[in-house]
Structure 1
Amino acid sequence: MLSARVLGVSVWGPGLEGWAAARPVLAGEQAYVPTDAAPPPPMLLPATERRRTGPVVRLALAPAQEAVLASGLPAGSLRAVFGSSNGDGPVIGTILDALATAAPGERVVSPTLFHNSVHNAPAGYWSIATGSHRPATCIGCNDDTWPASLLVAMADPGSAVLLCCYDYPLPAPMAATRPTGTLFASALVLGDGPGPLLRVALHHGPASPPVLPLDPALQALARDNPAARALYLLAALARGQACRFDLPYLQGRLSIELQP
Structure 2
Amino acid sequence: MIRVFVEGVGIIGPGLPCWNESREILAGRRAYTGGELPRLQARRLPTAERRRSTAVTRLAIDAAEQALPPDMNATEVATVFSSSGGEVETIHRIFEELATPERLISPTQFHNSVHNAASGYWGIATGSRKASTSLSCFDDSFAMGLLETAGQTLIEGTRGLLVAYDFPPLQPILRARPLLAPFAASLLLAPAPSELKLAELAIDFADADSDDAARMQDPGLEALRLGNPAARSLPLLAALARCESVKLSFGHLRVELTPCA
Q: Considering the TM-score relative to the shorter chain, is it more than 0.5?
A: yes
Secondary structure at the counterpart of residue 124 of structure 1: helix
2-structure distance, mates of 1:168, 1:31? 24
Matched, 1:100 2:103: no
Partners of 1:81 and 1:138 within 8 A in 2: yes
Secondary structure at the counterpart of residue 69 of structure 2: helix
* Corresponding residue number in structure 2 for 1:167: 166
- The alpha carbon displacement at 1:36 in A equals 1.5
Partners of 2:75 and 2:128 within 8 A in 1: yes
Matched, 1:54 2:54: yes
CA separation of 1:87/1:178 partners in 2, compared to 1, >3 Å: closer, same or farther?
same
* Corresponding residue number in structure 2 for 1:123: 119
Secondary structure at the counterpart of residue 155 of structure 1: helix
Which residue of 235, 241, 245 corresponds with 1:242? 245
Which residue of 196, 205, 210 corresponds with 2:208? 205
Deviations 1:146-167, CA, capped at 9 Å, x for gaps: 1000000011211100000000
CA separation of 1:213/1:171 partners in 2, compared to 1, >3 Å: closer, same or farther?
closer
Which residue of 214, 218, 223 corresponds with 1:220? 223
* TM-score normalised per structure 1: 0.93
Partners of 1:9 and 1:19 within 8 A in 2: yes
Secondary structure at the counterpart of residue 10 of structure 1: strand
Give the counterpart letter for 1:149 in structure 2: G
- The alpha carbon displacement at 1:39 in A equals 3.8
* Corresponding residue number in structure 1 for 2:67: 67
CA separation of 1:100/1:6 partners in 2, compared to 1, >3 Å: closer, same or farther?
same
Q: State how 1:1-260 maps to structure 2 within 5 Å.
A: 1-69=1-69, 72-101=71-100, 103=101, 106=102, 108-156=104-152, 157=154, 158-191=157-190, 192=192, 193=194, 194-210=197-213, 214-248=217-251, 253-260=252-259
- The alpha carbon displacement at 1:216 in A equals 1.3
1-structure distance, mates of 2:188, 2:217? 23
- The alpha carbon displacement at 1:213 in A equals 5.5
1-structure distance, mates of 2:174, 2:40? 25
* TM-score normalised per structure 2: 0.93
- Which stretch of the first structure deviates more once superposed, 87-96 or 191-200? 191-200
2-structure distance, mates of 1:2, 1:124? 28
1-structure distance, mates of 2:63, 2:23? 13
- Which stretch of the first structure deviates more once superposed, 238-247 or 197-206? 197-206
Partners of 2:97 and 2:103 within 8 A in 1: no
Deviations 1:85-118, CA, capped at 9 Å, x for gaps: 01111110011011102x2xx3521111111100
2-structure distance, mates of 1:41, 1:171? 22
- The alpha carbon displacement at 1:40 in A equals 2.1
CA RMSD after TM alignment: 1.3
What number of residue pairs does the alignment pair up? 252
Structure 1: any 5+ residue segments left out of the alignment? none
Give the counterpart letter for 2:229 in structure 1: P
Secondary structure at the counterpart of residue 165 of structure 2: strand
2-structure distance, mates of 1:111, 1:30? 46
- The alpha carbon displacement at 1:207 in A equals 1.7
